[in-house]
Amino acid sequence: MSINQNEVTHKEFIDLRIPMPWGYVVGRWYGNRKVRPILALHGWLDNMGTWNTLIPLLPEHIGILCIDLPGHGLSPKLPRGIVYHAVDYVCVILRIMEEYQWQKVSILAHSMSSMISFIFASLYPDRLDMLISIDIVKTRYRPPSAQIEHIRNNIEKYLIEDDRLQLANQMEPPSYNREQLMQLMFEGTNRSVTIENCSYILERNITKSTKYPDKYYFSRDGRVKYYFEFTTSPPFAAELARRIHDVPYCVIKGSQSNFIDEQSDEVIEILKSKNPHFELHEIEGTHHVHLNNPQAVAAVLCTFINRHRPPMIETWSLREDMEEDEEREEKQDEVKSEKNIKSKKRKSKL
278 occurs within a structural domain: yes
Gap between the Cα atoms of 29 and 46, Å rounded: 18
Q: Note the pLDDT of residue 68.
A: 98
CB 284 within 8 A of CB 259: no
170 occurs within a structural domain: no
Q: Which residues of the chain have pLDDT under 70?
A: 1-10, 168-169, 313-350
93 occurs within a structural domain: yes
Q: Containing domain of residue 258, as a range?
A: 13-140+232-308
Burial class (CB within 10 angstroms; exposed 0-12, middle 13-18, buried 19+) of 162: middle
332 occurs within a structural domain: no
Q: What is the pLDDT of residues 244-285, one digit of tens each?
A: 999 999 999 999 999 999 999 999 999 999 999 999 999 999
Q: Give CA 209 to chain center in angstroms.
A: 26
Q: Note the pLDDT of residue 184.
A: 95
Q: Note the pLDDT of residue 237.
A: 96
Please give the positions annotated as active site: 111
CB 38 within 8 A of CB 105: no
Q: Which CATH number do you get for residue 270?
A: 3.40.50.1820
Q: Which amino acid is at 205?
A: N
Gap between the Cα atoms of 182 and 202, Å rounded: 8
Half-sphere exposure of 156 (CA within 13 A, CB side): 6
83 occurs within a structural domain: yes
213 occurs within a structural domain: no
- Full-model pTM: 0.87
> 7-44: string of b/e by CB count within 10 Å (b at 16+)?
eebebbbbeeebebeeeebbbbbbbbbeebbbbbbbbe
Burial class (CB within 10 angstroms; exposed 0-12, middle 13-18, buried 19+) of 131: buried
Burial class (CB within 10 angstroms; exposed 0-12, middle 13-18, buried 19+) of 130: buried
CB 238 within 8 A of CB 245: no
Q: Note the pLDDT of residue 8.
A: 44
70 occurs within a structural domain: yes
Q: Which amino acid is at 278?
A: F
Q: What is the pLDDT of residues 127-173, one digit of tens each?
A: 999 999 999 999 999 999 999 999 999 999 999 999 988 776 678 88
CB 216 within 8 A of CB 204: no
Count the domains in the chain.
1
Gap between the Cα atoms of 335 and 249, Å rounded: 49
119 occurs within a structural domain: yes
Gap between the Cα atoms of 172 and 169, Å rounded: 7
Residue 63's alpha-carbon distances to 7, 91, 251, 345, in angstroms, are 17, 22, 20, 48
By DSSP bridging, strand 3-6 and strand 11-20 are antiparallel
